[in-house]
Amino acid sequence: MTEMKIALSIEEAADYTGIGRNTLRKLVEWDKLPVLKVGRKVLIKKDILELFMTVNEGRDLSDRGNVKAVARKTAV
């Protein structure tokens, strides 16, 4: 049975996107990329990663002021 994940750890997200682990951690710290925290584990939804990459295409992700934040739609 093939496992289909909807959320990835920082390490898995780095492999999935090609963005470095440290850069992903900074993006989370800067509130540019929404995450789900489960204890010490940080999970990022795949659809949010794809949206983030589309919105920030061509931008320098190491420059905090240059990165556009993405937001998760929340149900109330």
Task: Tell me the domain boundaries of the chain.
Answer: 7-66
Q: What is the 3-state secondary structure (H, E, C) of the chain?
A: CCCCCCEEEHHHHHHHHCCCHHHHHHHHHCCCCCCEEECCEEEEEHHHHHHHHHHCCCCCCCCHHHCCCCCCCCCC
pTM to 2 decimal places: 0.86
- How many CA within 13 A on the CB side of residue 43? 11
pLDDT at residue 22, as a whole number: 97
Averaged pLDDT, groups of 10, the chain, 76 residues long = 83 96 96 94 95 96 95 70
pLDDT at residue 2, as a whole number: 56
